[in-house]
Amino acid sequence: MPRCYVIFNANAGTALSLSLSTEALADMLIEHGLDPVIDDDEVVPLDERIARAVASDAELLVAAGGDGTITALANAMVGTDRALGILPLGTVNALAKDLNIPLELEEAMDVLAANERQWIDVGEVDGCFFLHKVVIGLIPALAAGREHIRGKADVAAKFGFLRFIFRRLARARRFAVAIDRGDGRPKPERVQAVAVASNSYVEGVGRIFSRDRLDQGELTLYILRHLSARDFIRLSWGMLMGKWQDDDALSIEKVDEVTIHAHQQTVKVMFDGEVESMEFPLHFRIRHNALCVVAPAPPENTPADTAGEIVEEVAP
């Protein structure tokens, strides 16, 4: 029976909605042929809990929570041969969706039990690893407002958040950055937001910030040069309808590495969905196939590996 060490976030969105207890989680894992050690100690800081997981003799380290828990555990596993398992108990579950891991808990445990492994890329910015994207500019400010309605399902909270968004959009101003795409020649830009993603997001009806491949060995640079309320509505509609990458507010480039400079010293960033503070300059690179995950094999008809290709898709 394979030993697994589980970091369980009982306060994650889906865990709360299921009223999932540690005992119930353990019983389900045992039923799926796993031998679990479950760490649900919310009093202890997450980094200490992760250190205990890494120090254990478990063959499989499992993040049972949202994307924040997954990214935190992955940061301790990059470059090792330990496998990361995922039980998607958060609200967004972006990585699980990209890896075709079922969001239904029993089915996600079937994936763990099958123990099929693959290697995926990891983005790195100033020594910190990210699995999705890092965003600077207006978007983190909008994301910060989301924290005020987290856990609230009432209509009033949702409308309040929309009012907050449009007020921020009305006051938003572009800011100056210099972007070095790896050639040592920073190019000045005035932007509303810049995002650097591990691999590329694809278009498709209802596919919002979704990736087909996580092993292409490339970063994708998204530059949003203006974002009025009209731009926001048009881009949001385009994402829902699966046609947004040719929007004239946005440019997209595939790069091997990128450094972002600015006059200010610190900046708020959205780091895999969580708002944090970082210091300029921000240097990004890709770590190709640096993380082992337990997930179904990617579909055979996904595009072949094109690591290192640098293509400018849209250049307004």
- Give the whole-number percent of the chain exceeding pLDDT 90: 61
Per-residue confidence (pLDDT) for residue 226, from 0 to 100: 86
Neighbour-count burial for 226-265, b at 16+ CB within 10 Å, e otherwise: bbeeebbeebeebbeeeebbebebbbbbbbbebbbebeee
Residue ranges covered by each domain of the chain: 3-115, 128-287+300-314
pLDDT for residue 87 is more than 50: yes
Region 74-96: mean pLDDT is 94
Torsion of CA 251, 202, 257, 78, to 10 degrees: 150
Its pTM stands at 0.83
> Please, what is the end-to-end C-alpha distance for the chain in angstroms?
56
Query: Per-residue confidence at 315, pLDDT binned at 50, 70, 90?
Result: very low
Query: Per-residue confidence at 306, pLDDT binned at 50, 70, 90?
Result: very low
- Give the whole-number percent of the chain exceeding pLDDT 70: 84
Structure tokens at 142: 């909008």
Predicted confidence (pLDDT) per residue in 107-119, tens digit: 999 999 999 999 9
What is the phi-psi region of residue 137: left when phi exceeds 0, alpha when psi lies from -120 to 50, beta otherwise? left
Task: For residues 103 and 87, give the distance between their C-alpha atoms in angstroms, rounded to a whole number.
Answer: 8
Per-residue confidence (pLDDT) for residue 140, from 0 to 100: 67
* Residue owning tokens 């000045």: 188
Task: For residues 220 and 311, give the distance between their C-alpha atoms in angstroms, rounded to a whole number.
Answer: 10
Per the prediction, the chain carries an average pLDDT of 87
- Residue with the bigger pLDDT between 242 and 200: it is 200
- Residue with the bigger pLDDT between 306 and 259: it is 259
- Domain boundaries 3-115, corresponding CATH code: 3.40.50.10330
pLDDT for residue 165 is more than 80: no
Amino acid 126 reads D
Contact 314, 245 (CB under 8 A): yes
Pick the CATH number of 128-287+300-314 from 2.60.200.40, 2.40.30.110, 3.40.50.720, 3.30.1490.100: 2.60.200.40
Structure tokens at 166: 């449009």
